[in-house]
Structure 1
């Protein structure tokens, strides 16, 4: 008769053997996983026990040390900065595009400075044209100095000395007050879709007007009266875009003349302004009327008085 205890011992033996086999397999599996991880994704066959003591520990990941070299800034050149002749018609188109980007003051300034950046490079690469955004709408919408003039003047001042700058600014200011704007050239560019924008606020030939003043308020008002369009219309906005290109182009024409030693001022103050300035100018005798100053057309805002009205 079979011994029942012997059967139990055999079962326990088989069970014990199975557990030992399981544990041995688990240890080998863990070692394989460890070696796999150590190799950082590369499969490695575990070494036999005799070689285990000779295994080299998993090396730590090496950190690549890069030396940070700071670029030594170039020295900013003395003022005035260098200027090269630019193409007025390309400037006209870029001024119009610049208006679409960030309005009039930015547009005129960007058209000139970006072109100098392309032609000369440094230091014009260091100037953010966005610094001129404030001038939109006659400075933050106040209707004072036309933004296109403001931006163009800043560019002129950057590339000419004080005496020359005042002469060119005076000429450009006078041209603006006497010229029908937008020009025929800008109107034609719009009709032919020759500007650089993809979609136009208006592509019709717009009415022209003579501002008689460098003020945004006066310039816009006179154009709206001449055209019949409201100040908030897309046509008025397009008019100012074309005007921005016209002003930037004229500024470059004057700068090109200066570079060629061919600049000759032609603007003369209106007769009414000259008459007023006989008494009302920057002076030290208050009783003689020297309590104001300016070059704008006085009679746009003031009634003639005294001998002027006789």
Structure 2
């Protein structure tokens, strides 16, 4: 159905509908929760210290999140573009391998993989912007030719949101790679700036999702990237502080659990709206 054939009520329903399946949302919530628990287990704030167990748990969580992405790949490919989704899935795979290596205390290789994973994620978001541009050009071509609009813009995020988040993830990844080769504040500052930019990109997109997933889920979705972005700031301020590693894992754990809460609430909303 073309855009012009939709009634205002149908357009509103489509804009508020949760497109992810209940199974995908549930798996994403479980995966993020497991990842968050793994990071908290590795935090000295819980009296356990950084451990291989924490990295192993985080790896399991990453695998579950990856499964949720794969189950949703057909719909995501249609909306965001196949190349973008392939890159995002590769991002999740690489980050999962990095967590697995963390369980074996393979620090240097893990740093390279973490950096490469986030760079892949950033490039994936940039490809979403490219996909949106192509859809908009097709829509304008239909309009200029006087033909009924057959093309549809399926990417809801703005170009500013996508580019900001993409640049942020790339900077974060480059900083993580830099940490494997150089000490000091430089790479850490790069990661902090990248994390903040990525968080801004995510927040600028999720705030309009209140009609779809609810206010509490959106608040959790906003707080989650903020904690992720904050995870590297203590290191950038004082790299010599031995407690920074624990704070980093604590922030990552809380951020992941907030993301899990957002997915769980979206899952509940999905069940209630699809009856």
Shorter chain as denominator, the TM-score bin is: under 0.3
Q: Which of structures 1 and 2 has the larger relative contact order (alpha carbons within 8 angstroms, sep 6+)?
A: 2
More helix by share: 2
Q: Which has the larger radius of gyration?
A: 1
TM-score w.r.t. length of structure 1: 0.26
Could you tell me the TM-score, scaled by structure 2's length? 0.28
